[in-house]
Structure 1
């Protein structure tokens, strides 16, 4: 373990020797003791130790020495490292010498010659403790500065504008994006009140609302005129929340300013991309699958058993690719918050029967039993028929896919003001730790499941997005190797988001 150092300086060899002996007895297990007989020699020792990266805790020096007095020497020591504790040995030193050392070297202690061993020991132990505290405080300060710089770098790298108001409603922090949105420099904003800098009544009202609703996030859409280009209007969404200290006391408000125009442009580009993908990939896939269907119906001539097997396999893979493409496009749409619901009244029972008919072939191929229980008098249901059908198809297809024997059941009922949809199977089940994860994009329990059952892992994520857009709920209950039940509740006549 590395030791710290104490440097002792006196022009009388017997005093230096006495100091060294007593300090080695008192704190030799804590520090290395270095001695010098002049200030010049001591400075050489000091510089050498500092250059080696050693930690010097205390310098003890006589005041009256040839060449350089102790007070002047300690001033230089303090300039080299202000964290070193300093001590003057006073025998003949005057009051003015001590005052000089206090003022210029932040003198910590005076020891009068001759001294007592116990007094010297107590003084040195006290100063070692103070030196350790100083060192720790310095390290903490450096760490705080580093963390502050890191936090500022993160804040300035964020593309949304960030503006922080202190408890006196004055701006205490802005990032680069904020200055660009507001058209003001950091110097023009810091320390000012927002009403003194910008005419933004909506933002001021938002800050007041945020301070009154300290546990809530409040937001508003604001039209801002750029300060350097009055003709330029910027649509922004302002989101504000009260800042609280660890003990719960409010100390300001943080506001995020988001340029909606930029988001709209990104959304438009994504929509164009989705439209292109939809047309360029869906169209040839549809033609390929139609051709396979014609071949299998012998519309273009009789097929041998081997030809029929290969074409059936190709059709199956093409259908899987088509479904994967559909899921990917849906997920891209959902991630861009572009999910549009075409709300209308429709017969949910009839829709469910059509979905059941579509998957019946898959059920029969695996020798499963499909049970359907739809309440006879369901109320008029207002929702997006196509997307609700997608939820039913995804849940039923999953149930069939992961069930090798037994049954699959669909139940639709009406309880109070909600539609309840339940899909149950007797398949492989899902571990409880995966109940939330299965609704994430592309989540698969493991690679073995992916290879054995195929699929992108997007179906349940799409179901969840559609259900939430209808202000409904979806959850799962399951026991490994016994089966799984998915529950969906949908409001009968809620305003769709």
Structure 2
């Protein structure tokens, strides 16, 4: 009798074990389906440029994608657990909270347009807000997908953190199931505990699947998944709407069966085959028919791999670039118009400058004659007045000459006149000419390395003008200070360095330093005068002769300008 009872217990135990094995197979199959969904989601998100994030009902971030951190220049550790009030302006934070409140009260998905700041300034986004519910049907979070609609930037939604979390949780539950399976062989009462655990896992998997579907269907860009036979295996809501179809009617069919033109199908099939062959994503553009007519799209085709890294499908994400192409065309037309206007301006400046230069030369000449006659007649007050007229006329003449030079440069009419010359003599003449300006502001000018510098083959007039502009500039912005001019020959280069301990410049001021008709700010123009052309002309002259100008400056500490020119400037004709 005891043997019979033991045999019945063994049979009952085997039956229970068999049922548990079947349950385990079902759980493992669900795990495989989840992993496949995860791989599909990862491939889609890795090639998306939308900003994705989830906030709990208190507005705290519980999930962000890498594109969020890249766009707002924030690390994940700085964001998770925080609210919009910690990063954005109060106005933006309150607006976001108001939208989340509307989604909560309406209990449905909501698409809005909002302005968000990023590292490049403020940009307009189309944001889709959607509620997320737990197993009890209670709202626990608000999800959001924001797409930049200024330039339709490339979708790069990276949800690696979600994928990693899901994989870890699945791995943990797989281990747990294995342990339960071993325990069920020796414990009769473990069946109830195993069923409860399995039900919990299944509910969590179902919730994650719903989250994935919500994210994909909330995208404003068409998303399609193709198998190795080029058949649709997934179509998001936007993808079906753009074609005027139902997603279920597209699944399992090829583009040919849906009636697309052979020309479009052939090109798209080649791209898909290329991804299956190389395993690398493909970016391309094309014109595709939609229910609204033909639209220009930029699309990305990316591989989806299984657990053994075999490509089992490809995912394609389309982005409407019609507006961007129109904008590019308008920019090109505007650029052409601006270039034409700039050339017309240069011609006008050249003409009017010559018209002004001729009478100024006459004024200076007649002023010199009057100066000589008045000196002979013995007048003492008038020569000083004539000197002021002469100095102001020469200053005006220099400004006009600078306008003529920059106009010639911009109109590509400036020429080089190359010849051999003694650089030492040239520099001494420049130093002598700028000495009055140096002395006027109480400065000391020191010159080094000039005596043995040797011969240079270049345009002497332009080299002289470059050095004169740099010394005059330092003398003008330095008071009761020291200016150093150092010249050296380094292999086939002539290096001219002008250093002062004047007012110096900030980084923002240096950015505008070589722009024509521009000085650091309006106060500089009022205090020191000038047209803002000297350094711009010097830089253009250096570039024409195959050299360059570098500047290093700090506010209140002074500036250093370094000119590097070849010892033998190449003839443009040769």
Higher relative contact order (CA 8 A, sep 6+): 2
For normalisation by structure 2, the TM-score amounts to 0.43
